[in-house]
Structure 1
């Protein structure tokens, strides 16, 4: 299937060629082209939107679903290298040369330099000498060209060319060519590096071709051969493929390269008539990899005449000529509405004869038969032109059009006329054209490039001085609506110890732009507009894009002061908008979720159940793609609680209540009456694992949210070298030396940091040598150990009140963010129960989703066992930790601080001691398939039972345990290479920084389907 990325006559031409080859097609069209013929000829047509739809690469390529190739036609995107690259990126064949050739030949200056390097003459401009031709680097179609004969006209000509080129091609660069008067414009047609023929394109009106003749007449054999040879050498130099044209200026026996057009030309049809080669069919066959015979024939002469509209309107009559040797290519038909937005080409009249005299006579006859009513055209001009001898004409042959006067600077409709100005309207915008002399148009006329008045004027109004202190009424109205200050509401919030929604977001973000701030509650049917503006600003949700830690995020906050922070129609729409933006741009989301859930009071809708609301689905889809942070103070019920529970982390202010239903919903369900503060208080929601972090105030909540985000944000402006310690986090400052061992204790003393700013500090690592007591039965403070190991101030523990047997925390080592899990020997002796396993499994998912490497500090006697443990579904919960660990894709490192027994130790090692990037132990490490005491009791029960004396039996047992400890201690385990090393605890940070390879970062999308909310 082929996408035709163009409009009008060329789109019709390509669609017909594709149909002849049995290729199915897709057309694109702008709103004002909906009735164009090309729309009906395609198998499928896709509408485009926007001010420049045919230039919108993303929109055009979105229409290529199911296509294998794209034909760009001419103009628009035909010479756009980035468009060709975008086609390639989507697996589409671009019907044309490579992007590299497009870039080279599409730049007229570079093309001239290439031609000169091949010995092809060019018209170099000598600085300071006149006359010159000013030309646009990316020009075409006669746009961006001015001849300059006087030095005083040069600056204005350059500026005019730049402006016209910028508007037409998006590139205002220009260059100079030596002006060659009385020259002919000759083109050589190529297919690949083969020459198909030539044509004379000298008959031009304001640098735009109007008549072409093939082959070019009055060229002697040697000159024609030289032109063909030069074109072929240029094509060979760039490895040209597809259809293209090389253009020259010819004066006498001399010729000069002008440009090369790496695309189909408007005038290709005149060459087709004499060569017998269907150039569009050839393009498509080459694109599809078919066999192509494009050997040209010698078939007389042909003449092409461009029939252009000079005004807009509806074609009441459109009757093209016919008969032997006559061909008309067009997209027009009777009743077609002709606009003025695009190029004015209405039809191409191409005639063929056995010689040039016959062809010219047929052209005159065909022009006489051509009938067009409803719009003005250049038909009469063409008829008059062919009464003259045009054979061998030069580019300045057409000079009898009115030279003086103000021409319309754009196509449009005349809406007002005065003695000194004409107002044109185009695309619903009015343009004032200052004129002098006699005005030649009337209100209602549709004009193209014709004269507006007999005298020359300027196309812009005189600029009036502006008082920058004046606020216009329209702006004053907008500023008033953006005044969201509500002092009484803020005072009530402050009196309760809280902050407003806007205060929280202002504290969180260094910069913030709000989306939908002017929205109001959808209750116009029941409340006056003024009241809604006053009492329901932003429909109770402040939402937008902000900057946190130097990086963009989506921030949104329900406003409890507006309808109790409930979820209304408009703020659901805002959430949908921002969630989509977060998905498209990979932006983290921070949600302040205080509020009462759904709002039944909205009336401006036709919904019944509201169950088709997409906000919950859209937010849940972000899980695993971007960090989601929930903050709650006060009451959070129903739909607000669902959004909160979807977040990766929940930060709750003391006194908060969180529940899936508020008091009204509970009572409505017949479950009794409860006060809001009795539903989901923190003494319930912390131990059960709902809340990750408890803080004392909203201010502290914002600080913690900012800190949490910092673990998932790359350092601003930093690109650490691949393989460096900090390549997945923060680079070490060059001024700070790495900790080294020089015959003494390991030290690490560098600046303090709790974020990703690029500096860090840690405690004296020798403290780790004493973090685990020498008495192997003595408990110790694992959190103090973690604080010592990590960068100072960098530890953020999650879910500290739940599953207490395992600590899960975000930390930094040498500035690099990591996830850390650790057994707590003060809880169940470090044994892993169902809650601890659940907490750990979910934390590992979080780290894996966002490419955080994980360090595991193992000190566990294993999993909890026994009847009570099995009542908690231990088999499923504990294996959840094993399964999650075994499927991690981020770097993982194991440090055994003391006990590493049984399946619990294997779970802490992500499944096996051979899975982590490193598995090391401190000297206090001890290993075994189960606890040493239990192993001795089970393994040597018969021997111990045979000892009758209890004292002797205990002595024998102690000896066996001691032997088992010697066998399982870290040094012995390392001697058989079950672990990588036993290290000085003070050396732990160096192992983490060196051996824990950085994870490859993701540019977009998800690595995991989602992060389990539990």
Structure 2
């Protein structure tokens, strides 16, 4: 006699799990403009690669003869899959069952997926859509519980494997924590929200009436708070962004980042770089265009583009090798360092250092933003934290000073300890303060005694004199900057540096030296 009846029951139970919360619940999910958790997994994973764990978990009902009647599955779908041929672990919330509530699920199930990813050294993907706790559920369970999940190794996970979280619907309480506690987080515009407590909680506790979007929509968290990195126009774009982010990351801190084949010449010289920095100092330019001209074509993925906008952070490739790229954006605060920009830069440096991505910094730093609001925000402390993050990093650094480098924030261009490799373009200028403002302050007494016409002539004379002293070539004569380069040669210079950096990277950061090719 075989075990065929029990094997048939396995398939029957799996089929019940695939039905999620039932046909009506799935229709409501689609009517709200959102995919189901299984549809999301189907889009993000390589075709046919998802291997589910715990499909039978749930609440079963039996007849009087102990025959299975039905199973209401747990509202967490977990397992492993492949993305671009590499294994990942997936923790997905099922909103069609009790709104994906963290109180209604079997917590051991999603925690198992996260701990599996940590132990097996593979990236973790969270598909988050959870309504959080519920008073009615407390009533059903018969007691309350102390907050927290002792077996969830949240902090350890961030230190060892890449974590990507997507907020794909309402995410409250634990859902908000799971969405924000990641190296790369994404929200979908209009259909996802993140908050510690939803509108009813806010109204009861604070007397404020607010809707879900006003409280925790993507415009709030990708622009104002910085809780979430990127905004996607729809779920398909969010899932695509997640796949792309992971393509730059090693599977864990125990490996070097993956390399892809690249047919973009390492010494490609773009004529546009020769004139991209305006001679007129007050004119702005497009730093993103500069970065695109230097990096491998089509390889730039910007992170947190709407937050801390005076700093640009992105992942890119040079000769197929992943790097972290930082640049000042003169279109926002002149590229100066705000508290938000400092927090963004600090977090990005930490991610690059954790996962062994060498860092390229395109510098046009006018200094730390000043003024009453900047002081209230603690911008100076933000600058200090950025400098500390740089000095504590271990990955190779290379800075290219393309225009300005001034003040306290100016010290945050690269790691000052060690060889401190940096190059300058002929357009570069640096110092404690910009000459244009410093001259007038230094000669205030003399200038105050002159007529307006005489004052202007004298000021122009002084600025011309100090402009000469500010020339990068004078600094290079004293070897205070290693070299001044033709802007068109920047890609070749960086690829040459990365040849050296990539060779020593495994020893420098203490990982295996094998190169993974995607």
Question: Which interval holds the TM-score relative to the shorter structure?
Answer: 0.7 to 0.9
Structure 1 residues 709 and 681: alpha-carbon distance in aligned structure 2, compared to 1, 3 A threshold: same
- Of Structure 1 and Structure 2, the greater helix share is in 2
- Could you say which residue in structure 1 is the equivalent of 2:9? 477
1:766 matched to 2:264? The reply is: no
State the Cα distance separating 1:823 from its structure 2 match: 0.7
**CA separation in 2, counterparts of 1:523 and 1:680?**
38
Of 245, 256, 259 in structure 2, the residue corresponding to residue 730 of structure 1 is: 259
State the Cα distance separating 1:473 from its structure 2 match: 2.1
Report if aligned partners of 2:339, 2:379 keep a CA contact under 8 Å in 1.
Answer: yes
State the Cα distance separating 1:610 from its structure 2 match: 4.1
State the Cα distance separating 1:552 from its structure 2 match: 1.2
Moved more, 767-776 or 646-655: 767-776
- Could you say which residue in structure 1 is the equivalent of 2:516? none
1:954 matched to 2:456? The reply is: yes
**CA separation in 2, counterparts of 1:596 and 1:896?**
47
State the Cα distance separating 1:995 from its structure 2 match: 1.5
Report if aligned partners of 2:158, 2:182 keep a CA contact under 8 Å in 1.
Answer: yes
For residue 493 of structure 1, give the secondary structure of its aligned residue in structure 2: helix
Give deviations 1:817-875, integer Å, cap 9, x for gaps: 11111111111112111111111111111111111111111101111123332111223
**CA separation in 2, counterparts of 1:554 and 1:908?**
36
- Could you say which residue in structure 1 is the equivalent of 2:54? 516
Moved more, 965-974 or 586-595: 965-974
Structure 1 residues 673 and 924: alpha-carbon distance in aligned structure 2, compared to 1, 3 A threshold: closer
Q: What count of residue pairs does the alignment treat as equivalent? A: 492
Moved more, 820-829 or 494-503: 494-503
Aligned CA-pair RMSD = 2.9
**CA separation in 1, counterparts of 2:195 and 2:110?**
21
Q: Could you list the runs of 5+ residues in structure 1 that have no partner in the other structure?
A: 1-463, 720-726, 741-745, 748-764, 1005-1014
**CA separation in 2, counterparts of 1:571 and 1:701?**
27
Alignment of 1:223-238 (within 5 A): none
- Could you say which residue in structure 2 is the equivalent of 1:653? 188
Report if aligned partners of 1:522, 1:569 keep a CA contact under 8 Å in 2.
Answer: no
**CA separation in 1, counterparts of 2:199 and 2:264?**
60
State the Cα distance separating 1:560 from its structure 2 match: 0.8
1:683 matched to 2:188? The reply is: no
Report if aligned partners of 2:122, 2:251 keep a CA contact under 8 Å in 1.
Answer: no
Report if aligned partners of 2:264, 2:296 keep a CA contact under 8 Å in 1.
Answer: no
Alignment of 1:493-504 (within 5 A): 493-504=29-40
Alignment of 1:333-732 (within 5 A): 472-483=4-15, 484-485=18-19, 486-510=22-46, 511-521=49-59, 533=71, 536-537=72-73, 539-568=74-103, 570-599=105-134, 601=137, 608-611=144-147, 613-614=149-150, 617-655=152-190, 656-669=192-205, 671-672=207-208, 674-687=210-223, 688-713=225-250, 729-730=258-259
For residue 856 of structure 1, give the secondary structure of its aligned residue in structure 2: strand
- Could you say which residue in structure 1 is the equivalent of 2:372? 867
**CA separation in 2, counterparts of 1:689 and 1:888?**
23
Structure 1 residues 956 and 531: alpha-carbon distance in aligned structure 2, compared to 1, 3 A threshold: farther
For residue 171 of structure 2, give the secondary structure of its aligned residue in structure 1: strand
Structure 1 residues 664 and 867: alpha-carbon distance in aligned structure 2, compared to 1, 3 A threshold: closer
**CA separation in 1, counterparts of 2:60 and 2:510?**
40
Report if aligned partners of 2:352, 2:358 keep a CA contact under 8 Å in 1.
Answer: yes
Alignment of 1:735-754 (within 5 A): 738-740=265-267, 746-747=268-269
**CA separation in 2, counterparts of 1:611 and 1:696?**
34
- Could you say which residue in structure 2 is the equivalent of 1:980? 482
Structure 1 residues 977 and 592: alpha-carbon distance in aligned structure 2, compared to 1, 3 A threshold: same
Q: Could you list the runs of 5+ residues in structure 2 that have no partner in the other structure?
A: 513-518
State the Cα distance separating 1:924 from its structure 2 match: 0.9
Moved more, 885-894 or 789-798: 789-798
Alignment of 1:138-153 (within 5 A): none
1:841 matched to 2:377? The reply is: no
1:919 matched to 2:448? The reply is: no
Normalised to the residue count of structure 1, the TM-score between the two structures is 0.46
**CA separation in 2, counterparts of 1:981 and 1:770?**
19
Structure 1 residues 505 and 676: alpha-carbon distance in aligned structure 2, compared to 1, 3 A threshold: same
Of 410, 420, 434 in structure 2, the residue corresponding to residue 905 of structure 1 is: 410
Structure 1 residues 474 and 521: alpha-carbon distance in aligned structure 2, compared to 1, 3 A threshold: closer
**CA separation in 2, counterparts of 1:830 and 1:671?**
39
State the Cα distance separating 1:964 from its structure 2 match: 1.9
For residue 546 of structure 1, give the secondary structure of its aligned residue in structure 2: strand
State the Cα distance separating 1:641 from its structure 2 match: 0.5
Structure 1 residues 728 and 974: alpha-carbon distance in aligned structure 2, compared to 1, 3 A threshold: farther
Moved more, 490-499 or 766-775: 490-499
1:889 matched to 2:394? The reply is: yes
Structure 1 residues 917 and 987: alpha-carbon distance in aligned structure 2, compared to 1, 3 A threshold: farther
**CA separation in 2, counterparts of 1:870 and 1:916?**
33
State the Cα distance separating 1:991 from its structure 2 match: 1.9
